Structure formats: C-alpha cells, structure tokens
Chain A
C-alpha cells in the first residue's frame, strides 16, 4: 500500500470538511476522487500530501508525494527552466540541463520566458513537467484537466499512465471521462 488513511477527519472552525474517512491507494493503482464542489476533495488531497494535519485519524504514507495543485504555483520572476531547476535542487537532487530541456520540450514550453507571461494552461503544463522530473511515488492531482487544451489533455493522460506504472495516482476531478481510465472511483458525499 502506498497510502493507508484511517478514520481521517478535518475540521475548519466549526465545520467538519471530512469526517471518518478511510482511504487506501495500492501500487500501480489509479483512483478518481469525485463529488460536488465543497465536499472536501482538495482538503483530502492536501491531508494525504501532509500539507494539512487532520483533526483526527491516522495516515501512513510510503514514498515521496507529488502534488499537482489547481492552479499550480511558480515563482513569477523565474523562467520555466529556472523553476524546474530550483525545484529539483530543493528536492535534494543535482539536475542536468539536458533533462530539464527535454522535459520542457515534451510539454511544448519555451525555455526562458518568465512564468509571469504564462497562461494558466502553460502553467499547468509546466507543473506536469515538474512532476515528471520529481518522479514521485504517490501522485496527487487536483483537477488536472482544468485549463488544458486538447493536446495538453493528451500529455496529461500520458502522465497519468506513467504515474500508474511507476507508483499510484489519485485524481480529484469533475470530468466524467476520467472514470473509464482509472481503476477505481471514490465518491465523497457531503457530511
């Protein structure tokens, strides 16, 4: 198991966003997380990523977590290549330029334009390149299809297939077309 979460609950102020939730992710598994807005999909992903401490419950994780936020965040004054470069360095990895060039070319992005000038679709592509370079074991994708064009969507599906082959994926989504591509669908209901 890559993720074993038991009886997870999260409260913001008076409101319980998650309540008594169990969740597992096996290796080579792709899971879609569906449910209406405000049901706690993003919160669950953030709890699983270790970004939010649950109010109750326990989580066991095996391996490095990669998180595709919606929208993804980058340093505006850095170019795409610089963002990837520092992301790898802070991960504790020595990168080589060729690797970054290849990743950028793969997602069809320019090398040295500052992220300031990126559209939201380009940012999503850059986030995909970053995730691919980080190559985590647990891939948590929050509405990954948002802002992507047809070609970007194809790249995303490739990425999900790669992620499933190398680890496990959780996709929080409203897009019904993912349902046929994943192994399991988890539906969150309002508490």
Chain B
C-alpha cells in the first residue's frame, strides 16, 4: 500500500499489515475495550475511587436535601445525574490515563489502519465504565433517595443513552488532552458546558419517570438524547484522528 504524507494533506501515513489481516475493525474495537477493562479492573484504583466518591457524594447530598422523604424523592433524579456527571469526569481520564501511565500510547498509534477505531474502542471502554457506575448509582439513589424503580427498564434506557452521549465527549477530550500537563483540570472545564444538553434531557426524562408520567409524553427527551448521541459520536469519530497525532 502506498500513501502520501505531507502537511496540508488530509492523509496520514496509513500502514497496513501486508500479511494476515484477519480481524475486522469491529473486532479490534472490542479487543481494545476489553483490554482496557481488564487493565482497569486489575489496577482497580480508578473504578473503586469513583464508586466510593459517589457513595460519599450521595450521603452529603442526602444530608443537604433530607431527611424528609418527599424532598429526597423530588431531588433524586437531579442527584442521580449530577453524581454521574461528576463521577464521569473522574473516570474520563481513565480512557487514556492507562496509556499515558505506561507510555503505551505510541504503540496504539502505530497499529495499522486509520485511527477512528481507537476512538470507538476507547468510547466503548468509557461507556462500559459509566454504565457499571451508573447502575450502582441507580440502586444507591433508589435506596437513599427513595427513587421509585417500578419502571426500571426505562431508567436503564435513559442511563444507556445519557452515558453514551457523555462518553462520546469525554473520550474525545481525554484523547485530545492525553499528553498535556494539567489535563485533570482542563478536562472538566471543557466537558461540563458541552454535556449540559445531555444532563438536561436525561434529568427531565428521569424526573418524569419518577413522577409517574407516561413515557409517551416524555419521549421527546429520549429523542433529543438519541439525536445528540448520533451527532456527537459521528463528529468526534471524524475529528478524533486529527487530535491524536503527536
């Protein structure tokens, strides 16, 4: 395969394994996400600190809003998503933190083919972490804030869509800032204004669910979340390869 490479050209030096290209890009995405999950659980620091941070945060918020059960229940949807947004900003650095700590980012960039798949692999990893933390959080909020979970399937749906939108942006910025000093401070600064629509739509849908409003009347929020997810995953995947070059 031949590729031109000069500044001012859209192309980068793609290099291809000339011999056995036996895994599809989708399989590589899954392998990257799987490898990072295995590493994350072996190191344990990231996920455990995020979960404990959440538990403590929920306690403080419950003390601020409680102890009246009605007040707690009213605050529950907001608490759920604010806590997830904060935990997400803690976890966001993990997507590339593992690579930076071990210095392995270059090896990832040297893998053959274009670099969109790296974004998708890291996105899948971030998304899985957020879902895991989100499920724990959902149970904690149900217990501490009396969030009614009768409609639990819809809670999971909004958790999935909200986490995807959040992870799409956090993965993008984490990759962009991976090599920079001060990334821990810069990441939340960039992340939070951008995820306002996601958090807003997710909170509104969750509030409606908690108040027992029929899902048909709330479906606009889900649609907004879905549109947001599609736009951000697409745009981030397109721009991401430019962000990673050294």
- Determine whether the beta carbon of A67 is less than 8 Å from that of B110: yes
With contact pairs A51-B109, A92-B22 given, residues A57 and B31 touching in the complex (Cβ less than 8 Å):
no
* Least distance between B158 CB and chain A CB atoms (Å): 33
- Determine whether the beta carbon of B112 is less than 8 Å from that of A92: yes
Residues of A within 8 A of B20 (CB): 93-94
User: 1/0 per position for A45-64, CB-CB distance to B under 8 A?
Assistant: 01001111111111111111
Is A73 close to B, CB under 8 A?
Answer: yes
* Least distance between A10 CB and chain B CB atoms (Å): 10
Stretch from A75-83, A150-158, A174-182 contacting the other chain = A75-83
Is B156 close to A, CB under 8 A?
Answer: no
Q: Give the number of residue pairs across the A-B interface with Cβ within 8 Å.
A: 115
Is A147 close to B, CB under 8 A?
Answer: no
- Determine whether the beta carbon of B112 is less than 8 Å from that of A77: no
Is A162 close to B, CB under 8 A?
Answer: no
With contact pairs A74-B104, A86-B31 given, residues A61 and B5 touching in the complex (Cβ less than 8 Å):
yes
How far is B25's CA from A89's CA once the two chains are assembled, in angstroms? Answer: 11
Residues of B within 8 A of A89 (CB): 23, 28, 31, 35
- Determine whether the beta carbon of A50 is less than 8 Å from that of B21: no
Residues of B within 8 A of A65 (CB): 13, 15, 110
- Determine whether the beta carbon of B104 is less than 8 Å from that of A59: no
How far is B1's CA from A138's CA once the two chains are assembled, in angstroms? Answer: 13
Is B108 close to A, CB under 8 A?
Answer: yes
- Determine whether the beta carbon of A50 is less than 8 Å from that of B111: no
Q: How many residues of A contact B (CB 8 A)?
A: 39
* Least distance between B19 CB and chain A CB atoms (Å): 7
With contact pairs A51-B106, A90-B31 given, residues A77 and B39 touching in the complex (Cβ less than 8 Å):
yes
Residues of B within 8 A of A92 (CB): 17, 21-23, 25, 27-28, 111-113
How far is B20's CA from A135's CA once the two chains are assembled, in angstroms? Answer: 11
- Determine whether the beta carbon of A50 is less than 8 Å from that of B5: yes
- Determine whether the beta carbon of B5 is less than 8 Å from that of A63: no
Residues of A within 8 A of B104 (CB): 73-75
Is A145 close to B, CB under 8 A?
Answer: no
Is A121 close to B, CB under 8 A?
Answer: no
* Least distance between A165 CB and chain B CB atoms (Å): 15
* Least distance between A168 CB and chain B CB atoms (Å): 13
Majority DSSP secondary structure for residues of A touching B = loop
With contact pairs A90-B28, A91-B17, A93-B22 given, residues A62 and B2 touching in the complex (Cβ less than 8 Å):
yes
Is A107 close to B, CB under 8 A?
Answer: no
Is A108 close to B, CB under 8 A?
Answer: no
Most interface-central of A49, A92, A137 (chain B CB within 10 A): A92
Is A69 close to B, CB under 8 A?
Answer: yes
Residues of B within 8 A of A58 (CB): 4-6
Is A35 close to B, CB under 8 A?
Answer: no
Is B12 close to A, CB under 8 A?
Answer: yes
With contact pairs A53-B245, A73-B106, A94-B23 given, residues A64 and B18 touching in the complex (Cβ less than 8 Å):
yes
- Determine whether the beta carbon of A75 is less than 8 Å from that of B39: yes
How far is B20's CA from A90's CA once the two chains are assembled, in angstroms? Answer: 13
- Determine whether the beta carbon of A74 is less than 8 Å from that of B35: no
Closest B residue, CB atoms, query A3: B13
Residues of A within 8 A of B15 (CB): 50, 61, 63-65, 136-138
Residues of B within 8 A of A90 (CB): 28, 31-32, 35, 108, 111
Instruction: Sort A-B residue pairs by CB-CB distance and give the 9 closest, nearest first.
Output: A58-B6, A73-B103, A50-B13, A89-B31, A77-B42, A92-B23, A59-B5, A64-B15, A52-B246
Given contacts A61-B5, A92-B21, 19 further A-B contacts (CB under 8 A): A50-B12, A57-B6, A59-B5, A63-B15, A67-B107, A69-B106, A75-B104, A78-B39, A78-B42, A90-B32, A90-B35, A90-B111, A91-B17, A92-B22, A92-B23, A92-B25, A94-B22, A94-B23, A137-B15
Q: Which A residues are closer than 8 A to B by beta carbons?
A: 46, 49-67, 69, 73-78, 86-87, 89-94, 135-138
14 A–B contact pairs at CB < 8 A? A46-B246, A50-B5, A51-B245, A55-B7, A59-B13, A60-B5, A61-B3, A63-B16, A74-B102, A75-B39, A86-B35, A87-B107, A89-B23, A90-B28
